[in-house]
Amino acid sequence: MDQSSIDALRAQEIAPRGHFINGAFQAGETGALHEVQSPINGQPLTQIAEGSPADVGAAVRSARTAFEDGRWSRMSPAGRKKVLLKLANLIESRALEIAVLGVRDNGTEINMAYKAEALSAAATFRYYAEAIDKIYGQVAPTSHDVLGLVHHAPVGVVGAIVPWNFPLMIGSWKIAPALAAGNSIVLKPAESASLSLLKIAELAAEAGIPDGVFNVVTGRGSVVGEALALSMDVDIMVFTGSGATGRRLLEYSARSNLKRCYLELGGKSPNIVFADAPDLAEAAKVSAAGIYRNSGQVCVAGSRLLVQQDIYEDFVAEITRHAESFRVGDPLDLNSQIGAVHSLPELDANLDFVKKAEAEGAERRTGGERILTETGGYYMSPTVMAGVKETDNLFQNEVFGPVLAVTPFKDEAEAVRLANATVYGLAGGVWTSNLSRAHRMVAEVRTGVMHVNTYGGADLTVPLGGVRQSGNGHDKSLHALEKYFDLKTAWIKL
C-alpha cells in the first residue's frame, strides 16, 4: 500500500449504482437516485438507487426462489466452501481498491480501513468457508429401538441491515456465516456507505455464488429497512445499529411473521484503570486508541474512562497528551491517524454533546471543536471531558464520536457500580495487576466483551455480542453460525 496507488484510486470516478438483485445490477422500481456525499470534502461522490418496497419485494422473491430450488441451500458444505474461498481470495486481491472505495464514502482512515475492512472481510469469508464442512449434527442418547438425530437446517432468507461505520467488516460478519450455512440473503447497507458492499456483491457473483442468493438493496432505512423487516418471507433479521432502530425491528417482527431478530446495538463501554495497572503509560496509549480510532465511531469504543482517584490527575494529563498528539486529516493520506466524522449531522451531534457536558459541569481538557473546515469535510478534534458525573448526559448516552468522558472512582466496588450504571452492556475493559480483581471485574461488569490490560483487538475466534440494551445474539466465532441454522429433530422408530 503506497500513497501513489491510493491517490490513483481516489481519482477514479464512481458511476451511479443500482441494486444488486438476482445476480445483476438493476435500476430501482421508481428510478430515483440518492446522492452520496464524501465526508472527506463534503462534496457529492456518486449516486445510488433509492430503494422502494417494490425493490425489496423483488430481492426477497429472488432470495426465496434461490433458497427453495436448492441451487445454494442444497449444495454440499464442501461446495459452498470452495465458492466462499474463491470470494475471499478475490476480496484480498482487490483489497486496496475496495478499501479506498469505502473510505471515500465513510471517512475511516485508510490504514485502518485496509486492514479492518477489506482484509478483515477476506479473512471472515475464509474463516466461515473453512468452518462449514466441520459442523456436525448429533445423535441423541436414546433407547435401542429409536434413533434420534439433530440436523442443522439453514433458516431460509436472511434480512441484514448494517451500519456506516465499518460497513464491510460488519457486513461480512453477517453475510459470510449466513451464506456458509446455506441461506439466501437480502442486505440493506447504510444509504451513506453502500459502495464497498455493492462491490462485494459483484465479486460474489464472479466467485460463483448463484444468482438470487446474495442481494443488495440500497436506500433509506425508513423505507428499505422497514419493508425488509415487515416482509412475510424473510425468516430472520440481523442488525447492527441504534437501539431506536432495533426496537422498531422488533415491532415489525410482531406485525409480520414473528421473524427472529438478532440485534447488536449501542454501547457506552467502561474502560476502568486501577492504580495498580501494570503499565500506566501503556494503558493511556491503548485507551486513547480505544476511543479515538475511526473518530470514535466504533461500537465497542471505550468511551467512559473510569480512573482510580490515586492516579486520576496524572492519568487524565497523559491521555490528554495522547489526544492532542493524533494527526487528524484526510483519511486517504497515509500520514493521517484519524479520519473524518461520517457526516455533518453526526459532527453536529458530537459537538452538541460537548456543549451539554460543559453545561452540566464537566471540564473540557482538550478538543471538542470542528477542525479543518477549509477542506469542506467533517473533522473533529479528539476530546477529553474530565469530571463527568454518573448522572450526566455524556456518561449515560452513546456519542459515537471522538469524545471521552472521564470519571474518578475510589475503590473496586464503586468501579463496578459505575461501570454498570448505564442501560448498555456491549464491551468494557479493566487495567490491573491483581489477577483476582481482574477475574472479579470480568464476572461483575455486565458486558458481552471484557478486555483485561488491553482494549480492542479481539479476533474472529471469539464472539461479539451485547447484553441488556446493547442487544442479543453474536457475530464472529463459530457461535455466529447458530442464528443461521434451525435445529431439526428426526425421531426414527427402528
For 18-72, how does the pLDDT look when each residue is reduced to its tens digit (9 = 90+)? 999 999 999 999 999 999 999 999 999 999 999 999 999 999 999 999 999 999 9
Kindly state the average pLDDT of the residues 210-237.
98
Of 2, 30, 27, 29, the closest CA to residue 15 belongs to 27
Handedness of CA 17, 23, 27, 28 (dihedral sign): negative
pLDDT tens-digit series, residues 315-358: 999 999 999 999 999 999 999 999 999 999 999 999 999 999 99
- Alpha-carbon span 82 to 76, nearest angstrom: 10
CB 384 within 8 A of CB 321: no
pLDDT tens-digit series, residues 430-466: 999 999 999 999 999 999 999 999 999 899 999 999 9
> Which set of grid coordinates corresponds to residue 482?
447458530
CB 334 within 8 A of CB 7: no
Three-state secondary-structure class, residue 312? helix
Of 108, 77, 216, 202, the closest CA to residue 160 belongs to 216
- Alpha-carbon span 235 to 156, nearest angstrom: 6
- Alpha-carbon span 200 to 176, nearest angstrom: 11
pLDDT tens-digit series, residues 102-145: 999 999 999 999 999 999 999 999 999 999 999 999 999 999 99
Is 264 a residue of the active site? yes
Q: What is the DSSP letter of 432?
A: -
- Selected catalytic residue, list 191, 261, 299, 346: 299
The pLDDT assigned to 10 comes to 97
Whether the pLDDT of residue 74 is over 90: the answer is: yes
- Selected catalytic residue, list 264, 318, 346, 398: 264
Kindly state the average pLDDT of the residues 358-368.
98
Is 261 a residue of the active site? no
Whether the pLDDT of residue 233 is over 90: the answer is: yes
Ordered DSSP codes for 167-190 = HHHHHHHHHHHHHHTT-EEEEE--
User: Is residue 332 exposed (0-12), middle (13-18) or buried (19+ Cβ within 10 Å)?
Assistant: buried
Against a cut of 0.85, is the pTM above it? Answer: yes
Angle at 250 between CA 245 and CA 254, to 5 degrees: 145
- Alpha-carbon span 383 to 369, nearest angstrom: 8
- Alpha-carbon span 166 to 7, nearest angstrom: 21
Which residues, 6+ apart, have CB-to-CB distance to 368 below 8 Å?
A: 351, 354, 380, 381, 383, 385, 403
The pLDDT assigned to 1 comes to 86
Whether the pLDDT of residue 492 is over 90: the answer is: yes
> Which set of grid coordinates corresponds to residue 214?
446474495
The pLDDT assigned to 39 comes to 98
User: Is residue 490 exposed (0-12), middle (13-18) or buried (19+ Cβ within 10 Å)?
Assistant: exposed
